[in-house]
């Protein structure tokens, strides 16, 4: 395959919170690099996923959910999603088949309107609805915006994902290999480790902890003498009461978070890991531009 026949391009995956954008990215890559949970605003940063085959390289940008932003951190997340739509080759607008919000898509259509990128519509979670609902939904959506194609799929089961990927690859322009074929993301290991800890915190604290939590990897040390990697992670919360919830009775909760996160990190890194977690209270950090940048939201 000569380089001038090679195809490559950037695809921004956008949509409301909890429509399955990160689950889709992980499904496409065949490996978990983006965290998932059933809580809104789980994804906070743009995440690059790189899928390469013999003929093409597709660079997916997973984005935070677009929602009415009422504070600086949420405005940062929405800006990350909107900015991802600039200078990409394709935009994949993703909706939830269970809750398509057909009468509330105007905000998303305004973001898409006038973009030079090809716009595809992905209808996710089709495994959760009766199939006879799909055709009327597609008919209504096709009247609301001029999509290049509408593809139903399930990121959870994988149904329709190959069709979606074929639709994307067929529209890639000629382009270079931006990354070596064995690279799945440009994210540093520290970022993914922090995200895996945050994922377990979200999953195991349920509704008790709000989104005023940040994760910072304090140290990441390879110990060749012990054949493992020592990782020290700081969990920042906004209130002293939240610290007690994260720790749990006798430290039970933070141990459970650490154990689950360590298993995910070991699978990702491919090495034994010693993971140390500690909690620090930083009042109102989400309202401080300096602290938000310090904690990775730039």
Same domain, 155 and 231: no
Same domain, 164 and 198: no
pLDDT per position as a tens digit, 28-52: 999 888 867 676 666 667 889 999 9
Q: Are strands 7-15 and 90-96 parallel, antiparallel or unpaired?
A: parallel
d(CA 227, CA 264): 18
pLDDT per position as a tens digit, 146-191: 999 999 999 999 999 999 999 999 999 999 999 999 899 988 888 8
Tokens 């969990």, residue located: 235
∠ CA 250-252-257 to the nearest 5 degrees?
145
Residue 20 in any domain: the answer is: yes
d(CA 94, CA 18): 10
Residue 180 in any domain: the answer is: no
CB count in 10 Å sphere of residue 258: 19
Same domain, 34 and 152: yes
Q: How many domains does the chain have?
A: 2
- Residue 246: domain span: 189-294
Residue 9 in any domain: the answer is: yes
Taking the complete model, does pTM exceed 0.75, yes or no?
A: yes
Same domain, 211 and 270: yes
Same domain, 106 and 214: no
Residue 184 in any domain: the answer is: no
pLDDT at 133: 93
Same domain, 129 and 254: no
pLDDT per position as a tens digit, 66-105: 877 777 777 887 888 888 888 899 999 999 999 887 777 8
Contact 56, 85 (CB under 8 A): no
């Amino acid at each position: 395959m000569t380089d001038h026949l090679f195809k490559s391009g950037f695809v921004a995956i956008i949509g409301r919170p909890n429509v399955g954008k990160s689950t889709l990215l992980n499904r496409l890559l065949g490996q978990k690099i983006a965290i998932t949970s059933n809580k809104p605003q789980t994804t906070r940063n743009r995440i690059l996923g790189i899928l390469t085959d013999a003929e093409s390289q597709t660079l997916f940008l997973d984005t935070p959910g677009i929602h009415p932003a009422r504070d600086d951190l949420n405005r940062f997340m929405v800006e990350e999603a909107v900015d991802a739509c600039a200078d990409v080759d394709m935009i994949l607008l993703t909706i939830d088949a269970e809750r398509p919000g057909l009468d509330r898509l105007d905000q998303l259509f305004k973001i898409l309107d006038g973009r030079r990128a090809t716009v595809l519509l992905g209808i996710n979670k089709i495994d959760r609805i009766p199939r006879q609902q799909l055709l009327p939904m597609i008919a209504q959506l096709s009247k609301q915006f001029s999509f290049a194609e509408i593809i139903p799929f399930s990121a959870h089961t994988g149904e329709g994902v190959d069709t979606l990927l074929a639709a994307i690859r067929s529209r890639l322009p000629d382009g270079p290999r931006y990354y070596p074929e064995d690279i799945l993301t440009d994210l540093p290991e520290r970022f993914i480790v922090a995200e895996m800890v945050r994922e377990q915190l979200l999953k195991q604290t349920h509704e008790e902890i709000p989104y005023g939590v940040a994760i910072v990897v304090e140290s990441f040390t390879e110990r060749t003498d012990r054949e493992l990697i020592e990782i020290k992670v700081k969990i920042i919360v906004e209130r002293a009461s939240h610290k007690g919830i994260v720790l749990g009775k006798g430290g039970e909760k933070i141990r459970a978070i650490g154990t689950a996160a360590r298993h995910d990190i070991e699978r990702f890194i491919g090495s034994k890991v010693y993971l140390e977690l500690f909690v620090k209270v930083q009042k109102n950090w989400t309202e401080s531009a300096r602290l938000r940048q310090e904690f990775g939201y730039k």
